[in-house]
Structure 1
Amino acid sequence: MGENRDAGPSRAPRRRPRTTWTRRVFVAPAVLALVVLGGYPLVFIALAAFTESSLGRPFQEFVGTATFESVLGDADATAALVRGVVYAVLVAVVSVVLGVATAVALWRSVRSGAIVRTLLLLPMITPPVVVGILWKLVFNPSGGLVDTVLGAVFPGGGTVSVLSHPVFAFLGVALADVWEWTPLIVLLVFAALIGQDTEIGEAAALDGAHGFRLFRSITLPAIAGVVGAAFLIRLVLAFKVFDLVYILTSGGPGQSTTMPAYLIWQAALQQFDVGRAAVITLLLAVVVTVVTLPVVAVTRRLHHD
């Protein structure tokens, strides 16, 4: 007989501890890019704001809050910040209203609107400099589209120089901005519309909800979260406007179209005052935060409802 050996209780194979080094390797470039592209500029701006800094010689001397006091005491700088808020809110509201209306119209004709949807995206993919040049030609007082149309409607009325009037120039820049970025709102809202449950709308239509009532009671609540997010994105983009101002008006006439981004460019690259540019940048960040926080709260609430 063979010898019986008591092998004892069998041991379960040991599970190798989960290693995360591979994940760290793949995540490390993203973290490094975030630190370099986000952290370094933020530290640089913060240091420049509290020191006397020029374009060629940053961090020369610590000046504390003197630059902040100078900027806050400058009527043109504070007016530019206020003007930036008015401009951003105006452009965002108009873009969202037009974008939602256009997206709903395309959604209603989803089978026949493929070419139209493609054409509507062209302004968004056009470089901002080209958009500025295009609208400068539109507003040209000598043969531009606006001057030609008004001349045909009101013959003998003389030339119309839109960009030479403070209010019209402000509205002209806003119009070009709306034309360029409204397709983004259309794209976001249209994606939300085609993704919603059509059976709910059909049931509401059977109950007698049609037209604007159907949109207000069924469609709009279903896409409200997306509309809020689109408004937030558009608001932030409007605060960053620079190209259109630079091409169309160069901040004029006077200071009527000088936006915060253009003011930062003037301070840094025309006056070579990096400290002043850094202070305006930080103040703009505070303004954007204050303006967008309520929008973020409302958008979050709409997504949860």
Structure 2
Amino acid sequence: MANSLTSPVRPTVDPRSPSPGPGRSTRPRLDGGAASGGRWAHRAFVTPGVLALIVLGVYPLVFIALAAFSESSLGKPFQDWVGTANFSEALTNADVTASLVRNVLYALAVGVASVVLGVAVAVALFRTVRAGSLVRTLLLLPLITPPVVVGILWKLIFNPSGGLLNTVIGLFGYSGEPVSILASPVFALGGVAVADVWEWTPLITLLVFAALLGQSPEVTEAAKLDGAHGWRLFRHITLPAIAGTVAAAFLIRVVLAFKVFDLIYIMTSGGPGTSTTTPSYLIYQAALQQFDLGRAATITLLLAVVVTVVTLPIVAVTRRLHND
């Protein structure tokens, strides 16, 4: 009797109940309030991003697609559904097709020139001015200058009446007719390209310079000990190390070149004739001068298709270089 009164009462365990496995707690679970609160907090943080994507991405894309298949003006969109008539008219229009081809050639040429100059300047800075914060800041000046100011600046440089270009070539003995780059159907687009390269090459320089800073110095020193100097060092050691960054910079530069509008608007207004007219400028003319929203939307979608076709191989090469 004494033993039964003094022995502790042990809880009865149902043998049929599953036993907790190793590492599992036998304490009762908390209610789902905390988990539910976490889900609502996650939704609260994600919602602004989703709304921004819908407002800034999905809605404009749907609106442009609907306008391209309809007769739409700037004040009265979606007046009548016309199917593919807008696309047929655009693809048979010589100005539209010529502007698309011109934009592809322009973007590739400007992209190559910017990358070549940007890599050369970045390598020179890395080898001579490793702590050149002042030089890197000066390189940012064209990049942070508003495109409108860049266009005006280079328009003044190419001005045949007292511009910097004619002044410089006059110092070397030239006494012929003033050189008018922007008035020439052959050289006008090249003049715009020069301004474009001047404005965006610093971006390529900074990207490549950052990649050079991340390069392993031990590999470079070992290559120098093995006799690699100058071009051989750059070709076999430096360039493979930064190839992924260079390809990504080229992709960015090509996309930016496809979007060129401000420089053309300020420097040439699409002329002389249509020699500097790009799809972006045609979209501006169709939407804001002719108020033909359907034509503007059609050219926009055609430009998007062209940009996709051109950039897909560059994206593939960039991914391959980064994976290697």
TM range (shorter): over 0.9
> Structure 1: which amino acid aligns with 2:210?
A
Residue 162 of structure 1: how far off its partner (Å): 1.0
Cα contact 1:132–1:243 (8 A) shared by 2: yes
Gaps of at least 5 residues in structure 2 are 14-24
Residue 257 of structure 1: how far off its partner (Å): 0.4
| Structure 1 segment 62-211 matched on structure 2, within 5 A | 62-211=81-230
CA displacement, residues 262-298 of structure 1 (integer Å, 9 cap, x when unaligned)? 1110110011100000000000000000000000000
- Which region of structure 1 is more displaced relative to structure 2, 119-128 or 6-15? 6-15
Q: Which residue of 2 aligns with 1:299?
A: 318
Gaps of at least 5 residues in structure 1 are none
Q: Which residue of 1 aligns with 2:16?
A: none
SS of residue matched to 2:55: helix
Residue 64 of structure 1: how far off its partner (Å): 0.5
Q: Which residue of 1 aligns with 2:22?
A: none
Residue 5 of structure 1: how far off its partner (Å): 2.2
Q: Which residue of 1 aligns with 2:70?
A: 51
> Structure 2: which amino acid aligns with 1:173?
V
Cα contact 1:52–1:58 (8 A) shared by 2: yes
Counterpart-to-counterpart distance in 1, 2:264 and 2:174: 31
Residue 196 of structure 1: how far off its partner (Å): 1.3
> Structure 2: which amino acid aligns with 1:226?
T
Task: Count residues in correspondence.
Answer: 305
Q: Which residue of 2 aligns with 1:4?
A: 8
TM (norm. structure 1) is 0.97
Q: Which residue of 2 aligns with 1:247?
A: 266
SS of residue matched to 1:167: coil
Deviating 4+ runs (over 6 angstroms): none
Counterpart-to-counterpart distance in 1, 2:237 and 2:31: 53
Counterpart-to-counterpart distance in 2, 1:107 and 1:7: 76
SS of residue matched to 1:121: helix
Counterpart-to-counterpart distance in 2, 1:169 and 1:15: 73
Counterpart-to-counterpart distance in 2, 1:66 and 1:111: 58
CA displacement, residues 83-104 of structure 1 (integer Å, 9 cap, x when unaligned)? 0000000000000000000000
CA displacement, residues 43-101 of structure 1 (integer Å, 9 cap, x when unaligned)? 00000000000011000000001110101110011000000000000000000000000
> Structure 2: which amino acid aligns with 1:206?
L
CA displacement, residues 148-176 of structure 1 (integer Å, 9 cap, x when unaligned)? 11222234213111100012111000000
Q: Which residue of 1 aligns with 2:21?
A: none
Find the partner of 1:27 among 42, 46, 49. Answer: 46
Pair 1:216 & 2:231 matched? no
**Greater Cα radius of gyration, structure 1 or 2:** 2
Residue 14 of structure 1: how far off its partner (Å): 2.0
Q: Which residue of 1 aligns with 2:29?
A: 14
SS of residue matched to 1:166: coil
Residue 16 of structure 1: how far off its partner (Å): 5.9
Find the partner of 1:268 among 287, 290, 304. Answer: 287
- Which region of structure 1 is more displaced relative to structure 2, 110-119 or 12-21? 12-21
Cα contact 1:95–1:181 (8 A) shared by 2: yes
Find the partner of 2:79 among 50, 57, 60. Answer: 60
Q: CA RMSD, aligned part only?
A: 1.4
Counterpart-to-counterpart distance in 1, 2:28 and 2:245: 50
> Structure 2: which amino acid aligns with 1:11?
T
Counterpart-to-counterpart distance in 2, 1:156 and 1:91: 31
Check 1:286–1:7 CA distance in 2 against 1; reply closer, same or farther (3 A cut).
same
TM (norm. structure 2) is 0.91
Residue 27 of structure 1: how far off its partner (Å): 1.1
Cα contact 1:151–1:159 (8 A) shared by 2: no
CA displacement, residues 227-260 of structure 1 (integer Å, 9 cap, x when unaligned)? 0000000000000000000000000000000011
> Structure 1: which amino acid aligns with 2:145?
T
Pair 1:284 & 2:303 matched? yes
Residue 2 of structure 1: how far off its partner (Å): 4.6
